[in-house]
Structure 1
């Protein structure tokens, strides 16, 4: 019972307490609801009062810890006992120290002896601290080494990388920092420490640090990112040490980035400190250094030509240089590759104009870049299609005219130097046609037969460097074979003459006949060449360049005589006065020797017959020549030489020693070998007198000539186009009906074809055949002319 009463009393008390608690909660709730606005105001006031105390607490915590975070507990906790009671003291991290080059540091069982890194927990910065490149021995460096650095982020930090990456870093350091198989991120961690040491601490080992970065750049420079940061480090490091930053050579290569490269910026500042105007090269360096300047393909592909053209155009616009004025001076800050800091770089450059802040002249310079690029477009396309022909004169002729004449243009300058080496100090010399063609980059056929188009191209190439050549088809000569001798000499614009001028044409014919006369006895002599050249010099109605051409023509023709029969046919086209002069020239050459044989007399008789002159004139002329031979030499009339045109000297030899040294050895022994087999001569000189043939007095009125051909030749071409081919006998008959010489007609038509199609129209042989793929083009030309 007692237990029962006791239980009942306890339950009653609990019920009373619960009811009282419920009443209190209900009362508080009603109070809060009824006074909610007043309670909110009180809470706001309390928060405002507490805020300053909280801010002060946080600030106090940051000052106690420079890293901004509470330092971690060390790997070991030192316990001490005082008064028998256990207590714990936590060691705080200490700043890292610089390990000098050659100093040894142990990492457990590992040992680093190269130095040049920070050893410890953290490094102080201006307003914070970093653990990015402090090598902390307390951090684990174990497990499989991440040699490639694949687990590392783009911005690596020694404190944050994996234990495997730390192990790889320590292995790389212990191995001498030279193994290229290690990831570039590990190299960057090391570089971060070097830039902290040099730019923030400025120790006495700056020269060792610079040398180390140069070594690393040589090993890891293939990585574009490291190359850029390391190069930038070296530039600023040298500048900070008071050294001059060297500017690189002009190049179409562009550095990445949104700013002008440091070297160009400093270089131009130095130049403007010395003079208020920039030269052509410095102005180009400026505009190319601006990040918004882009070079198109012609300027990049043909950069040397672009620079040469830029100089010409710039000097024309700014003959005194480009004046540059600016108020802003150069201000530099080094931004660390680690991203941890940037620092101002002091020096004399702070007094120089900062061209990156000068904008006024840039639009004009950028327009000039565009204009020069446009002018090189044709040359660039040619080089793009035929890279191997870049240094050919065919390519060079596509350059702007004034650039062709500039000594700075590569292909033209190279060609000029090679030709000048042939001419030597005397300004004239001899070589073979093949050598000159190869110098000009013109293809030489395997069979040695040079096309008229190639011969003309060589002539134009020589014109551009002020050199004349003989034989030159453009001025009445034949096209030489590749292995035949040619003569070159200095002459303005290539020494142009009018090949149809009566005086020039007459003396030229005399030279041709004189050569045949000299070879009539099978032994052309040196004295006969001298007499021929003397006759050229005595022609007072010739200009200096005409005399020079004819003397060069005489030299080459004596070494390669033309075919006699064809020369004889050619003589029929001359006037009566010219025929008499030609006959006199031949008599002078033969009769001047004082020893005339029967073969030479027979040649003169045949010559007079071809010229329509009486045979008796041969004997009268020889008698007069023999009489003169007995007397003293008769002086020739004075010469009217053009200034600047080098003529061979009269005495002791018409050919200077320098030319003889280059292969022209004109003496009896050499000229005795000029007689050749008839077929060989025909093959070597098949193109002689290809241009001029006998023409009728007028073309048939109903005949519409093809452009560039007269009536008879047009009719012959149209007949061949209709037939496609015909026998040589039939062709000769048609040519004679049109009063044309068959051989001359073929050569005249093929010359015309080369000028338009770069190949021959007619293939000569037992059958005369029109080149098949050209028949259609001839038909089109006929339709257009109709």
Structure 2
């Protein structure tokens, strides 16, 4: 029972509770039904108030981003105006773009602070600490050090192998965070750590300068990136991003950028801040640019490429550019642009892209140029072309860069502008041997040694090398004689040469009639003086006196002719070669030459038989009658009471002597008496000896042996000018290279040739074609090695 009474009480209580709840709901229902209009009005008013509060709060938030933001610099407060100086950054995340809000709960750690994170004590600051940097609809946590994230690892990822290309502190593994914190704690300079840790730290520095725009922190951040660049600059990726950051950060801070230096590697582009700001600043000052800035500009153009000559010879290219630019554009190059510089920084982290403010906004933008830059491109190519020869020499012989030969391959005005060490040294040495008289007589090998010229094999100086030496001396305003360029021969190392001061090397016109005629007279006078034996000093003085008296000769011409006369008096030229050239002279020149020769021979008062024979040969070469020799000698020889000895009888066995002609009486008009018998005898002897030496001195050759059609065609085409016998001698030595003198004489004798005459004949032919002797006489007959290829070329051409 008792149990029944208890159960009844519990049920009664439950019924009472349910009754009360029902009564309350009924009352509420009746209240709503009775007051529905009042409730609706109240709800509407409350909703409107909530909407107005929301809009007012948003408006207040936007105003707070536009007011002037104070930034502390030391004890000063700098106000950053919202109107022009501050541009709201746009932040990019993948393909989405959001406006950045003010700083979130992360804060910037100053350089003076020391922070402990996950057991790592970090001094020096310059990073963000917190959970993230808040933006309107997200937080940036990529480069924020979050102390709440785990950094526990028994093996830190020092190399950063687990880090992605764009590392994020929030996303990397704890092992990578541990390595990053340890790198920060050890001064951020330990090389074993991977470059991913450096980039993770670098991203925060970017944010501080370009998003926070903290002017006070910028110098310290720039210094820190400079330090990182010194430590990790070997990494090409980091070096590129760091240099890019430094350029833009200095612009943002109003710090000066280094002036770009022209270089052969063209390490900067037209869009890089140093180039844009430097050229823009110049154009802001003046619309005309000069050579220095024009070179910076043209080397920065994306479609300009330096050829090998400009790269290899860049030290010579730069001064040559300045010379040619001043020639092309004496007043400079006027340039017009269509806009001003506008810099945009793209973060290495990929998190944002911002416009960089600064005074550069007032500079003309050279990437928006309206003036054609084609003249600059053409000028660059012209300068490169001028250095092609110099570049090729350096490509073959890099050690010859400072040689006098190299100087010849550079433009003269460039050498005058910059100087050339090898030329200066050569000129200094020449001045020492020339002395105060500015004149020197020395051996050719001495000059070659002073110029550091290398002699070719065999010790024979080629015409090309002689011309090259002459060109070097031209640059030093020194003349050399003999000089092949002005009608002289090629002086060999043991030959005497004269050096004297003359502007641009004393050029003359070797074909000017007065100069050419006098030079021919000098040559013939020397041959005439040497015909009777060695020339005397008195004969040389008479020749020099005649040169000095030449009224139609210039000063440099006289100097060259006197030097020429002295050298050939010491080393007379080949008689046949001189006589051969005389046939090309004019009638007036031939008359003057003959007169000069007779004057030298008759000037001694005693005429030798060899001298008479030479004069006869000379008159024949000049196309003048031999009979004039004797009449002219009568006029030149001084009168005497005794007969003048014209010749001495020298009988030679085996030579038939014709019957003597009747002795004729001296002509009444002669001023001196001549032994007619001796004169006739000398004439006979001269004719006989001339016949013996025909193969040496005569231009005509003996009848050649009959040749087969094939041989005749080969000889007439390949070695035109040589007959079959002389051609066979050339081919003999060409095959062997060297032939004993005795063998050469035997072979010549078998061909009915005199060995000496054949040798001279072949060398005369060689001079006509190669400007130098083909064969060298001595105990052995040697062919010039470098001419063997020329003989082959003659055959190939034929």
Same fold (TM over 0.5): yes
2:92 and 2:507 mapped to 1: Cα distance?
A: 87
Pairing partner for 1:577 from 567, 592, 595:
595
1:782 and 1:714 mapped to 2: Cα distance?
A: 15
Aligned positions, number? 599
- Is the CA contact (8 Å cut-off) linking 2:529 and 2:535 kept in structure 1? no
1:123 and 1:505 mapped to 2: Cα distance?
A: 99
What residue is the counterpart of 1:406 in the other structure?
414
1:126 and 1:751 mapped to 2: Cα distance?
A: 95
Q: What is the root-mean-square deviation in Å for CA atoms of aligned residues?
A: 5.4
Give, in angstroms, the shift of residue 454 of structure 1.
1.7
Give, in angstroms, the shift of residue 279 of structure 1.
2.4
- Is the CA contact (8 Å cut-off) linking 1:469 and 1:489 kept in structure 2? no
What residue is the counterpart of 1:111 in the other structure?
121
328-337 or 698-707, larger mean C-alpha shift: 698-707
Cα distance change, pair 318–712 in 1 and its aligned pair in 2 (3 A)? same
Superposition map of 1:248-287 within 5 A: 248-255=260-267, 260-287=271-298
Cα distance change, pair 441–99 in 1 and its aligned pair in 2 (3 A)? farther
- The secondary structure found in structure 1 opposite 2:121 is strand
Kindly indicate whether structure 1 or structure 2 has the higher relative contact order, using CA contacts under 8 Å at least 6 residues apart. 1
- The secondary structure found in structure 2 opposite 1:407 is helix
What residue is the counterpart of 1:226 in the other structure?
238
1:453 and 1:714 mapped to 2: Cα distance?
A: 31
Do residues 729 (structure 1) and 745 (structure 2) align?
yes
Superposition map of 1:385-784 within 5 A: 385-390=396-401, 403-407=411-415, 413-414=420-421, 416-422=423-429, 428=438, 443-445=454-456, 448-463=459-474, 467-474=478-485, 475-481=487-493, 487=499, 489-492=501-504, 495-498=507-510, 501-507=516-522, 537-550=548-561, 557=567, 562=570, 575-579=593-597, 696=699, 711=721, 716-717=726-727, 719-721=729-731, 724=735, 727-730=743-746, 741=757, 744-745=760-761, 747-748=763-764, 751=767, 761-762=774-775, 764-768=777-781, 778=791, 781=794
- Is the CA contact (8 Å cut-off) linking 1:331 and 1:350 kept in structure 2? yes
- Is the CA contact (8 Å cut-off) linking 1:172 and 1:178 kept in structure 2? yes
**Cα displacement string for residues 288-335 of structure 1 (whole angstroms, at most 9, x for unaligned residues):** 212233334444334445545555655555443222112301111232
What residue is the counterpart of 1:343 in the other structure?
354
Cα distance change, pair 224–350 in 1 and its aligned pair in 2 (3 A)? same
TM-score between both structures, scaled by the size of structure 2: 0.60
- The secondary structure found in structure 2 opposite 1:112 is strand
Cα distance change, pair 478–381 in 1 and its aligned pair in 2 (3 A)? closer
What residue is the counterpart of 1:679 in the other structure?
none
2:179 and 2:527 mapped to 1: Cα distance?
A: 88
What residue is the counterpart of 2:161 in the other structure?
150
1:68 and 1:262 mapped to 2: Cα distance?
A: 23
**Cα displacement string for residues 10-66 of structure 1 (whole angstroms, at most 9, x for unaligned residues):** xxxxxxxxxxxxxxxxxxxxxxxxxxxxxxxxxxxxxxxxxxx9xx9xx99xx9xxx
**Cα displacement string for residues 537-584 of structure 1 (whole angstroms, at most 9, x for unaligned residues):** 4544432222233455578x59xx9457x7899898894433356579
Do residues 188 (structure 1) and 199 (structure 2) align?
yes
2:105 and 2:495 mapped to 1: Cα distance?
A: 85
**Cα displacement string for residues 230-253 of structure 1 (whole angstroms, at most 9, x for unaligned residues):** 222222233333333222221231
Pairing partner for 1:361 from 365, 372, 387:
372
Cα distance change, pair 737–516 in 1 and its aligned pair in 2 (3 A)? closer
- The secondary structure found in structure 2 opposite 1:164 is helix
Give, in angstroms, the shift of residue 262 of structure 1.
1.7
Cα distance change, pair 145–740 in 1 and its aligned pair in 2 (3 A)? same
- Is the CA contact (8 Å cut-off) linking 2:271 and 2:367 kept in structure 1? yes
1:443 and 1:706 mapped to 2: Cα distance?
A: 37
- Is the CA contact (8 Å cut-off) linking 2:250 and 2:256 kept in structure 1? yes
1:331 and 1:438 mapped to 2: Cα distance?
A: 62
Do residues 329 (structure 1) and 340 (structure 2) align?
yes
**Cα displacement string for residues 740-763 of structure 1 (whole angstroms, at most 9, x for unaligned residues):** 8566556545556756xxx97546
Give, in angstroms, the shift of residue 373 of structure 1.
4.8
Cα distance change, pair 571–370 in 1 and its aligned pair in 2 (3 A)? closer
1:373 and 1:106 mapped to 2: Cα distance?
A: 61
Pairing partner for 1:209 from 221, 227, 242:
221
2:527 and 2:200 mapped to 1: Cα distance?
A: 85
Pairing partner for 1:137 from 134, 147, 168:
147
Do residues 177 (structure 1) and 184 (structure 2) align?
no
Give, in angstroms, the shift of residue 357 of structure 1.
1.0
2:437 and 2:248 mapped to 1: Cα distance?
A: 54
- The secondary structure found in structure 1 opposite 2:361 is helix
Superposition map of 1:159-174 within 5 A: 159-174=170-185
2:359 and 2:403 mapped to 1: Cα distance?
A: 49
What residue is the counterpart of 2:312 in the other structure?
301
- Is the CA contact (8 Å cut-off) linking 2:309 and 2:384 kept in structure 1? yes
Give, in angstroms, the shift of residue 421 of structure 1.
3.3
Give, in angstroms, the shift of residue 353 of structure 1.
1.1
Give, in angstroms, the shift of residue 354 of structure 1.
0.4
- Is the CA contact (8 Å cut-off) linking 2:288 and 2:334 kept in structure 1? yes
233-242 or 364-373, larger mean C-alpha shift: 364-373
2:553 and 2:752 mapped to 1: Cα distance?
A: 36
Give, in angstroms, the shift of residue 217 of structure 1.
2.0
Which structure has the bigger radius of gyration? 2
2:492 and 2:136 mapped to 1: Cα distance?
A: 83
1:348 and 1:516 mapped to 2: Cα distance?
A: 91
Give, in angstroms, the shift of residue 356 of structure 1.
0.2
- Is the CA contact (8 Å cut-off) linking 2:719 and 2:794 kept in structure 1? no
What residue is the counterpart of 1:238 in the other structure?
250
2:136 and 2:449 mapped to 1: Cα distance?
A: 69
TM-score between both structures, scaled by the size of structure 1: 0.61
Give, in angstroms, the shift of residue 694 of structure 1.
5.1
* 5+ residue gaps, structure 2: 1-50, 62-90, 94-102, 583-592, 616-628, 640-695
1:164 and 1:584 mapped to 2: Cα distance?
A: 114
- Is the CA contact (8 Å cut-off) linking 1:569 and 1:610 kept in structure 2? no
Cα distance change, pair 605–415 in 1 and its aligned pair in 2 (3 A)? farther
- Is the CA contact (8 Å cut-off) linking 1:238 and 1:245 kept in structure 2? yes
1:480 and 1:773 mapped to 2: Cα distance?
A: 16
- Is the CA contact (8 Å cut-off) linking 1:466 and 1:492 kept in structure 2? yes
413-422 or 136-145, larger mean C-alpha shift: 413-422
Cα distance change, pair 172–606 in 1 and its aligned pair in 2 (3 A)? farther
2:540 and 2:783 mapped to 1: Cα distance?
A: 42
- Is the CA contact (8 Å cut-off) linking 1:287 and 1:366 kept in structure 2? yes
Give, in angstroms, the shift of residue 619 of structure 1.
12
- The secondary structure found in structure 2 opposite 1:137 is coil
